[in-house]
Amino acid sequence: MDRGSAPATPASPSTPPSAAAGKVPSIPSSATSRSCPRPRRSLRSRSGGPASTCRGRPQIRARLDADKVGRYELRTWDVANTLRTALQGSEISKFRIGEDEYDIVVRHGSGARQSIEDLEEITVFHEGATIPLTAFADISFDTGLGAIRRIDERRVVTLSSDVATGFNANALRSEAQSHIENLRLPAGYALSFTGESEDGEEAKAFSSDAFGTALMLILIVLITQFTSVTVPFVILSSVILSLIGVFIGLMITRTPFGIIMTGVGVISLTGIVVNNAIVLLDYVFKVRVSGLEKIDAIVEAGKTRFRPVILTAVTTILGLIPLTTGLSLDFGRLLEGSLGDALIVGGESSQWWGPMGVAVIWGLGVATFLTLVIVPVMYAAIDPVIGAGRLLLRGIWRRRAGESRAQEVVSGR
């Protein structure tokens, strides 16, 4: 039973078939879905799903006119109590038969509550007068909500859809977004993507935070180890070089950028490529201490550390190839002597681990080559700047020390 004038029914937008939710402060029943709609087939390669507000049980709704109710000096409770007594009955007393107790319930007979016409004949008693229900109420058939869902205390209607096999959810989401941008939602309504899209955004935020934290921790360790601020940034440049390889690999292999697994691959890749740069520059510092010039030390480090760096990259890449391609070996068939049947390519694991493997393999391959070339060049270019900075700091320190001693001498006099 509603009190007040019936609200205008806002237009119900046709939501594209993806995980979408419309959040509104208050959704009147007339504005919600009348049934479990199947999303329209305007997007390719996905199967539609039902809305979260399915058709509820049929009901008869009595809408009260607030002005007329006040004119008759009635209260909403008076009308509700009358309707409840007529339809469901009201307990007026009890009686006993032996030890058994029975309720005495008063309500209209079954023949007087079968149709809207029967309800329209109900009268409300107030201060000795009988007032017809139709004098201040509009009675009509309606459908209640099958379920009311809320997120953060706001009513939500969710339309869901499954992506067909062989198609990318992100591409369909972008296509759905282009349709949604053309919709004109009523005031108070909002629409957002949930489900896999929402999970992807959370995973993206987590991966970004984890990547930033990893770089910060690596930077702190490098500064402590090399007692320098500039050299660690030269080493961290290999991380940027590895990202070039990651994106090249994803484009060449046409592998989707999976936020979770590709992010894990990039974070893992960071430690590997930084280790290669450390191995190279650490040897440069060692041979320079022995008396070699800068360029000679870089060449010597390249010759000496080339094999360890290459072996680290090659063994890592070869170890990830089975995981990335789904390559596996059936030992049962192998023992039977059938090598061709025992070798399986394209297992289900590659769908999950593939993006991570592609990121590490291509990122490490490109970064290893560039690390052996770019990092020594950057160090050779930045070393004079480092030396000039050290001389400048020493000069400033000596000047301040001299001024301090002069002041002490003057004070002593």
Per residue in 299-320, pLDDT tens?
A: 888 888 889 889 988 998 998 8
374: CB partners within 8 A, 6+ apart = 237, 238, 241
Contact 358, 255 (CB under 8 A): yes
Instruction: List the one residue out of 330, 329, 323, 331 whose CA is nearest residue 348.
Output: 323
Cα–Cα distance for residue pair 15/7, rounded to 1 Å: 23
Cα–Cα distance for residue pair 385/397, rounded to 1 Å: 18
Give me the domains of the chain, ranges plus CATH numbers.
Answer: 1-7+16-65+136-194 (3.30.70), 75-126 (3.30.2090.10), 202-400 (1.20.1640.10)
pLDDT band at 37 (very low <50, low <70, confident <90, very high): very low
Cα–Cα distance for residue pair 194/151, rounded to 1 Å: 12
In the numeric block, which tokens belong to residue 82?
């009358």
Q: What pLDDT is recorded for position 243? A: 87
Per residue in 126-147, pLDDT tens?
A: 777 888 888 888 877 777 666 6
Q: What pLDDT is recorded for position 362? A: 92
Q: What pLDDT is recorded for position 8? A: 35
In the numeric block, which tokens belong to residue 2?
């509603």
Cα–Cα distance for residue pair 100/381, rounded to 1 Å: 101
Coil, strand or helix at 358: helix
The CA angle 68-73-79, to the nearest 5 degrees, is 75
